[in-house]
Amino acid sequence: MHKCEIYQLTCQECNRKYIGQTDTRVYIRFQEHFRDYRQGNGKTKFAQHLLDNKHYTGSMEVIMEVSHITRKCGIMNTLGRFHIYKETKLDNQISDKCTIKSNVVFDTIIQTNTSTGHSPL
């Protein structure tokens, strides 16, 4: 079984979040983001955010969190879109906001879990 992970990187200075997914090990993906930041090329949205705002990066243990681990299938894309949507609604995400469209199902999950005090997904 091939596993895939949905992760988030949190900017230590402004607390904005980048949501990503990878089928490589998360520490390798973190190194890719960090390398792009260090080299100043901004190839990843997270690195570009840090460079544009003159923010610093923290260690993987501090800024990276794995949200879900799943097999590579359609559910991974849906879970990734949900987390991006949730952070977009909070005006807290670094990913591409232009790709986010209104989603009644995601809104219902967020509203239900917020009112019951549970963390959505």
Q: Is the confidence at residue 33, as pLDDT, over 80?
A: yes
Question: Where are the domains positioned within the chain?
Answer: 3-116
What is the tens place of the pLDDT at every residue in 38-88?
999 888 999 999 999 999 989 999 999 998 888 766 778 888 888 888 888
| CATH top class, domain 3-116 | alpha beta
CA–CA gap between residue 24 and residue 3 (Å, rounded): 8
Q: What is the pLDDT of residue 51?
A: 95
Q: Is the confidence at residue 121, as pLDDT, over 70?
A: no
Q: What is the pLDDT of residue 59?
A: 93
Mean pLDDT of the chain: 83
